[in-house]
């Protein structure tokens, strides 16, 4: 039961840059929120961010969500991957264009290093597209000895723009149900 002794606060990074990524990200958060053992506690605003890794592609939309869950980290990862598949995510090129991407950034205070699952996310402290939305909802959150805001100030946020619409964008976005 959400809110019980086994409930963990996790943070998810969301992004996409083809099709209608805002709609796909909203649908993914609503799908997670509808799961029995997951509740979306808070979401950042949407951010328009330059591509990272493969730069010859459209800008991304990114957000971060805080969720409360009774699932294990592995079960949460499986739910995220299942949700991506339902939204037609195709994994063709690492860091390439995608309709939706969900990453577990943090899972409580756990450190996990398993095949296909590393928590805390190993590169989040280097990625302004993660840190900017995370700083909006959890600026003082400790990332291995540094607050999110401090990490963001070190990497900079050039080209990242918070979009109007606030933090409830995912609750009001229209999907294809």
Cite the active site residues: 89, 98, 101, 103
- Count how many residues are written for the chain: 177
Q: Where are the beta strands (DSSP E) in 70-154?
A: 101-107, 112-114, 117-119, 142-143, 146-147
Q: What residues pair up with 130 in beta bridges, in sequence order?
A: none
Helix (H, G, I), strand (E, B) or coil at 46: coil
Closest by CA to 103, choosing from 145, 59, 55, 60, is 60
Exposure on the CB side of residue 54, measured as CA atoms within 13 A: 12
CA distance 16 to 22: 8
- The Cα diameter of the chain in Å comes to 46
**CA torsion angle 33 35 37 42 (round to 10):** -10
């Amino acid at each position: 039961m959400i809110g019980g002794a086994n409930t963990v606060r996790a943070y998810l990074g969301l992004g996409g840059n083809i099709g209608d990524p805002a709609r796909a990200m909203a649908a993914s958060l609503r799908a997670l929120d509808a799961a029995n053992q997951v509740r979306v506690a808070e979401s950042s605003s949407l951010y328009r961010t330059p591509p990272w890794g493969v730069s010859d592609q459209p800008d991304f939309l990114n957000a971060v969500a805080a969720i409360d869950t009774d699932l294990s980290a592995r079960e949460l990862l499986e739910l995220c991957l299942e949700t991506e598949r339902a939204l037609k995510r195709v994994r063709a090129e690492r860091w390439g264009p995608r309709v939706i991407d969900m990453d577990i950034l943090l899972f409580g205070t756990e450190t996990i290093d398993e095949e296909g699952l590393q928590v805390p996310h190993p590169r989040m402290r280097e990625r302004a597209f993660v840190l900017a939305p995370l700083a909006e909802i959890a600026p003082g959150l400790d990332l291995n000895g540094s607050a999110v805001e401090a990490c963001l100030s070190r990497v900079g946020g050039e080209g990242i723009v918070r979009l109007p619409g606030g933090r409830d964008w995912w609750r009001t976005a229209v999907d294809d149900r």
